[in-house]
Amino acid sequence: MRIVGYFGEVQSIDEVVPRPLAEVTLNASSDELRDLADFLRDCAAEMDDQPERQAHWHLADRFKRFQDAPHFVVFHVPDCKPG
């Protein structure tokens, strides 16, 4: 697993340069954590169903309550080596 991210506001997709993160800290309610867990399980299930498909999923697309939160994206690249 790789964890990457970027800081601040982005004006265009061309400005996005993900950087490796050493740690992720979530300050969330128990309901938000349950939604996140459901989201991650759904992503894993879709990866299992179509392992050869490159895809990405946005938490805010599944749960509108996260529309104004920092973006949380799961990205799947088939045959990508972890690390």
Q: What is the pLDDT of residues 6-46, one digit of tens each?
A: 877 766 777 778 889 999 999 999 999 999 999 999 999 99
Compute the average pLDDT of residues 44-65: 92
Cα distance between residue 22 and residue 2, in whole Å: 10
Cβ atoms of 54 and 78 within 8 Å: the answer is: yes
User: CA torsion, points 26, 56, 52, 20, in degrees to nearest 10?
Assistant: -50
- The model's confidence at residue 61, banded by pLDDT at 50, 70 and 90, is very high
- The model's confidence at residue 80, banded by pLDDT at 50, 70 and 90, is low
Predicted confidence at residue 10, as pLDDT, reads 65
